[in-house]
Amino acid sequence: MRNEAGCDVTSRGGGLIVLCLRVGLVKMHYNRFQGVARFGGACGSGPRGHRFKSCQPDSQSFVAEVAAGWGWLRMTERVTIPCEVGALCSNIAEMLRGVEPSVSNYGSRLYPCEVITDDGVFHPRVYVVKASSYIREWGVWPWSDQGKRWVRAESICSLHSSKLRLPVRFANTLNAAGESGMGYCAFSVELRNGSRLYFVTGNAVDFPNWPPGVSPTDVIAVRAHDRSPAHGVRPPFSHESSAEYEWSPFRAPV
């Protein structure tokens, strides 16, 4: 049978069968979803339900699949990449392959880089990221998102892993731990001298605002969701957050 929205749903005895997904925590953030969603039993037990939504072809697509408990969810999303997003030059794309990415909590491969653009400007903190991954996770292109800065991918003429990035193994530890609250991550880093620094950032954790005299090579451990006792009585200071960084979504796959 079809519901009021015209979607096919399984029914039995005149009533809708609700498929319960035993999911501990599934986060999905998407922009203007179009495509196909299907729900079903993963373990071969219990009722199976199917739900479809018609889609229209578009320029790029990706599939996200989550398996948990009694069911699985498969989603195909199609997004349009706007003309503002350019491609990396072939030699820059080759340089990017030499940068080890961090993997965000949503599965996006983020490349924290330092770049030089064709106007000779040095940019020490730039997230280079595939455009479809960017819009899936953030929902708004950086030129339309107040507070975000961006670099045109086609303007990059030199690219290397940023010397200011949190070491990738520590960034991935924090990303795997997820948000500390809605839209932010609280964490601490332990330094070789035994001291500890506390940060509260957005969901991008690779560029903490290092104090003078501290570099990423001084970090020996991180603790996700570790809050400074001082943050219980005051907001974090600017030096306890992210440093300023930029985004560079690119069109061509790497």
pLDDT digits (tens, 9 = 90+) for 110-125: 999 999 999 999 999 9
- Report the pLDDT value the prediction gives residue 80, as an integer from 0 to 100: 83
Q: pTM (2 decimals)?
A: 0.70
Evaluate the CA torsion angle 149, 133, 224, 170 in order and state its sign: negative
- Report the pLDDT value the prediction gives residue 200, as an integer from 0 to 100: 96
Burial class (CB in 10 A: 0-12, 13-18, 19+), 144: exposed
- Report the pLDDT value the prediction gives residue 252, as an integer from 0 to 100: 72
Q: How far, CA to CA in Å, does 212 sit from each of 207, 209, 215, 239, 246?
A: 14, 9, 8, 10, 21
Residue range 5-42, pLDDT digits in tens: 333 333 333 333 333 333 333 333 333 333 333 333 23
- Report the pLDDT value the prediction gives residue 147, as an integer from 0 to 100: 86
Number of C-beta neighbours around residue 62 at 10 A: 15
Find, among 38, 34, 32, the residue nearest to 52 by Cα: 38
Residue at 84: amino acid letter? E
The span from the CA of 227 to the CA of 141, in Å, is: 31
Find, among 207, 214, 217, the residue nearest to 247 by Cα: 207
The overall average pLDDT reported for the chain is 76
Using alpha carbons only, give the angle 107, 111, 114 rounded to the nearest 5 degrees: 160
Using alpha carbons only, give the angle 138, 130, 246 rounded to the nearest 5 degrees: 60
- Report the pLDDT value the prediction gives residue 195, as an integer from 0 to 100: 95
**Mean pLDDT computed over 49-65:** 35
Structural tokens at position 98: 């030499």
**Mean pLDDT computed over 223-239:** 91
Q: Does pLDDT of 65 surpass 80?
A: no
Residue 85's pLDDT band (cuts 50, 70, 90): very high
Share of the chain above pLDDT 70, in %: 69
Find, among 157, 200, 160, 155, the residue nearest to 182 by Cα: 200
The span from the CA of 106 to the CA of 201, in Å, is: 16
The span from the CA of 231 to the CA of 61, in Å, is: 41
- Report the pLDDT value the prediction gives residue 7, as an integer from 0 to 100: 36
Q: How far, CA to CA in Å, does 193 sit from each of 59, 66, 242?
A: 51, 42, 22
- Report the pLDDT value the prediction gives residue 238, as an integer from 0 to 100: 85
The span from the CA of 202 to the CA of 183, in Å, is: 6
Strand segments, DSSP code E, in the chain are 11-12, 15-16, 35-41, 60-68, 71-79, 102-103, 109-117, 122-130, 156-161, 185-191, 196-201, 219-224, 246-250
Residue range 117-174, pLDDT digits in tens: 999 999 999 999 999 999 999 999 999 998 899 999 999 999 999 999 999 999 999 9
The span from the CA of 125 to the CA of 140, in Å, is: 20
